[in-house]
Amino acid sequence: MLMQPYEARLAALRRELAARELDGFVVPISDEHMSEYVGNYAQRLKWLTGFGGSAGSAVVLAGEYEGKGAAVFVDGRYTVQVREQVDEALFDYVGTPAGSPAKWIAQHAAQGARIGYDPWLHTKAFANALGRALAKKGGKVVPVESNPVDAVWEDRPETSMAPAVPQPDDYAGRSSADKRSEIADWLKRNDHDATVIAALDSVAWLMNIRGADIDNTPLALAYAIAHKDGTADLFIAPEKVTSELSQHLGNAVRVRDRGDFIPALRELGGKSVAVDPERSVAGIFHALEAAGATIARKTDPTILPKALKNPVEQQGHRDAQARDGAAIAKFLHFLSVEGPKGELDELGAAAQLKQFREETGALENTSFDTISAAAGHAALPHYKVDEDSNIPIPPGSIFLCDSGGQYLDGTTDITRTVWIDTPEGSEPTAEHKDRFTRVLKGHIAFAEAVFPDRTTGGQIDALARQFLWAAGVDYAHGTGHGVGAFLCVHEGPQRIAKPNGGQAGTGEPLRAGMICSNEPGYYKAGEFGIRIENLVLIEPREIDGAEGDYLGFETLTYAPIERRLIEPEMLTEAERNWLDDYHRKVWDILSPQLDGAVKDWLKDQCAPI
C-alpha cells in the first residue's frame, strides 16, 4: 500500500534523523531573518505537514516516543485551519501559548533524548527554553549544521534571485546615508562598535532598497552590519546586485556575498556588537560568541525610526490610500451588482479585487493574501481561501474582505464587511445589525481618541471593545498593528491589543508619526464575522490649556462603510456626525477618480445616515 505524501515525508524525515543520531527535530515557519512571511524555499512546515498558515511549528520524534510522535503547534487563529489541512493520524494538534514544543517534547520524548534544531531558524531564547525542558529528562538540545528537512525535500524551491532595487529618496523621505548616520550616533552613544541588522525590513529601510523575494512584501534577502563610523556591510547574493543598486548604495556601503555573513561575524571578535535577540537567530549569537565578541542584547536601532514616518512617507500613505480606496469602491459596487446573482465565489471575489487594484497602474503587489470570507468562513479572522476551501458567496448573507496593496508610496490594509443582497431583496437580522453597529461604535471611539503622548497600545485597546463588552461579547485578535511604508503590512514596535494577551508591543509608547490599524471585530463561530478596518496616523493634538503633549489619530483609509448593517438608533449624535463626516471625505477623495454607475453608487453610500 502506497503511503500518502505527508506520511511518506514524515517517514523520510525520521530516517534522516535516525541517521544523524537525533531523537527528534523542531520545524518552524521561519527563515534566517525571523520574518513573518517567508519565501517558498523556507516553507518547511507546509511541505512536511500541509499546514499553510503564517505562524506555527511542528515537532517530529524518531526512535522511542509516546503517542504519534509528532505534533503541530498553532495559536487560536488557526485551530480550524490546522484540522482541515493536517492529518490527525500523523500529528497531534497543540494550541499555543498554553502548549509549546518544549512542553510537548518534555512529555513525549524518551529519557535522554537528543532533539535537534536549526540555529538559523530559531532565537536563542527558544533554544534555551528547549534545553531547559530537555535537561529535566536528561536530554540534550543539538544545533544542526544543516537542516534535515532540506535533506529529504527533493523538489525544494531555490531562493529568489530577483534583483534588489533602490527605493528613491522621493519616496523614502530620507537618504540611506542619513539613516546610517543616525545609527552610527546611536552606536557611539552606547559605546558599541557595530550592530547586526538581520530583519529584512530593517535592512530595506536602512539601505533604502526593496526587492521581490518574499510574497506580498517588497523585501530582498540580505543582512547588514552597521558600524559606528557610518559605514555598513550589505550581505546579498551577487546575482541580485545591479549597477544601479551599487551606484545607489555608494562607497560607504561594502557589498559582500551573502555567504560572507558568517565570516564577517567572526571578524567582529574583540568588539562590542549590538544584536536584537527577538529579531536575530541563535546562529548569529553562536558565531559572535565563538569569535569572542562582546554581545549587547539591544532592540534593533532601526525599529523605532522606521515606525516614525517622516512627512514624505506620511503623504505617500495618503496618496496610496486614496488610490486604493477608489479600487475598493469599484469592488464594493461590483459586489452589490454580482453578489445577489449567486454566481460569485470567494476566489473570484479576491481575483476581481486584485484586478481593480492593478487597474490603478501603480500596484506592485498585494500586501498579504486577501481574506475573502463568506458565511461561516468570515468567523475565522485569519481565513485564507484556496482551491480546497473556496465556497460560493451566498446571497442574503454577510461577506468579509480584508485586503491590502503594496504601492511605491505606501502600504494599505483595509477590511470591509458587507451585506450580500438577494435578487428579490433581503435584510440583515437584528443580531447582524447589533453586532455590526457595536463594532462600528468601537471603531469610532478609537478613531476619535485623544490621549497623552507615550500612552501605550494596551491602554487604547479597551476603547474599541467597550460596546461589545457591554453586550457580553469580544474578539480574540488585537485591535491595531503598525504598518510600514512600502514595507511590511505588520510592523512594530507598537501594537494595540489587550495588555495581558501576550501580544508583543502592547507596552510600547505610541508616538506621533506611527501608523496603526483600527480594526475591531466580532465573530460568531460557524455563522458570520464582522470587522471594520481603517489605517490611522498618530498625530499631535493642540488642546487649549493642555498640561502636556497630547496625540490623536488622522484617518488615512477612505472607503464607504456598509450602511445596511448599521442600526442608526444605536448611534449617538456624535457618532452619526463622525460617520457622516467620514463619508463626506470618502466622496471628496474618491469621486474624482470614479465615473458612471460606480460614482452614482458611491453617492448613495455617502449620503448622511
Beta-bridge partner residues of 147? none
- CATH 3.40.350.10 assigned to 165-306: yes
Give the DSSP H/E element, type plus range, for residue 372. strand 371-374
Mean confidence (pLDDT) of the chain: 95
CA 8 to chain centroid = 32
pLDDT of residue 2: 40
- Between CA 43 and CA 153 the distance in angstroms is 11
> What is the predicted pLDDT for the residue at 4?
73
What distance in Å separates the CA atoms of residue 276 and residue 504, rounded to the nearest whole number? 14
**Average pLDDT value for residue range 516-520:** 98
Cα torsion 321, 325, 326, 331 to 10°: value is 140
Instruction: Report DSSP state, residue 164.
Output: P
Q: pLDDT tens digits for 399-445?
A: 999 999 999 999 999 999 999 999 999 999 999 999 999 999 999 99
Q: What is the pLDDT of residues 117-159, one digit of tens each?
A: 999 999 999 999 999 989 988 999 999 999 999 999 999 999 9
Residue predicted with more confidence, 105 or 188: 188
C-alpha cell at 47: 511541505
- Specify the DSSP element, H or E, that contains 199: none
In the block, cell 551577487 appears at 238
Q: What is the mean pLDDT of residues 347-368?
A: 98
Query: Cα–Cα distances in Å, from 154 out to 29, 498, 510?
Result: 19, 43, 47
Q: Per-residue confidence at 52, pLDDT binned at 50, 70, 90?
A: confident
Residue 141: which H helix or E strand, with range?
strand 140-143
Q: Please, are residues 149 and 117 in contact by the beta-carbon 8 Å criterion?
A: no
Report the alpha-carbon distance of residue 349 to residue 324 in Å, rounded: 16
Q: What is the pLDDT of residues 539-550, one digit of tens each?
A: 999 999 999 999
- Beta strand segments in 35-98, E: 57-61, 70-74, 92-95
Burial 359-386 (b: 16+ CB within 10 A, else e): ebebbebbbbbbbbbbbbbbbbbbbbbe
Please, are residues 109 and 115 in contact by the beta-carbon 8 Å criterion?
Answer: yes
Query: Any idea which residue has 480546497 for its cell?
Result: 388
Say which CATH topology domain 5-152 has.
Answer: Creatine Amidinohydrolase; Chain A, domain 1 (3.40.350)
Confidence of residue 67 (pLDDT cuts 50, 70, 90): confident
Q: Is the pLDDT of residue 255 over 70?
A: yes
Instruction: Write the pLDDT tens digit of every residue in 449-491.
Output: 999 999 999 999 999 999 999 999 999 899 999 999 999 999 9
Residue 503's pLDDT is 56
Type of residue at 13:
L
Residue 6 has pLDDT above 50, yes or no: yes
Q: What are 92's strand-pairing partners?
A: 71
pLDDT band at 53 (very low <50, low <70, confident <90, very high): confident
Cβ count near 406 (within 10 Å): 25
pLDDT tens track for 200-254 = 999 999 999 999 999 899 999 999 999 999 999 999 999 999 999 999 999 999 9
Q: pLDDT at position 80, please?
A: 78
Q: Where are the domains of the chain?
A: 5-152, 165-306, 308-605
Residue 505, pLDDT > 90, answer no
194 burial via Cβ count (<10 Å: 0-12, 13-18, 19+): buried
Q: Cell 481574506 sits at which residue?
A: 371
At residue 504, the pLDDT reads: 67
Superfamily of domain 308-605: Creatinase/methionine aminopeptidase superfamily (3.90.230.10)
Contacts of 274 (CB under 8 A, 6+ apart): 187, 190, 192, 194, 195, 196, 296, 297, 298, 301
Q: Is the pLDDT of residue 163 over 60?
A: yes
What is the tens place of the pLDDT at every residue in 596-606? 999 999 999 99
Q: Are 210 and 220 in contact (CB under 8 A)?
A: yes
Compute the distance between CA of residue 53 and CA of residue 57 in angstroms, rounded to an integer. 10
First to last CA, the chain: 65
Whole-Å CA distances, 290 to 140, 262, 355: 20, 11, 52
CA distance 464 to 476: 13
pLDDT tens-place string over residues 543-592:
999 999 999 999 999 999 999 999 999 999 999 999 999 999 999 999 99
Q: What is the pLDDT of residue 97?
A: 85
- Could you check whether the bond before residue 392 is cis, i.e. omega within 30 degrees of 0? no
- Neighbour order of strands in the sheet with 534-541: 450-452, 550-555, 534-541, 515-518, 480-482, 491-496
Identical topology for domains 5-152 and 165-306:
yes
Residue bearing cell 493520524: 89
* pLDDT at position 79 over 90: no
Contact 135, 44 (CB under 8 A): no
Rounded average pLDDT over 283-298: 98
How many Å is the maximal CA-CA distance in the chain?
80
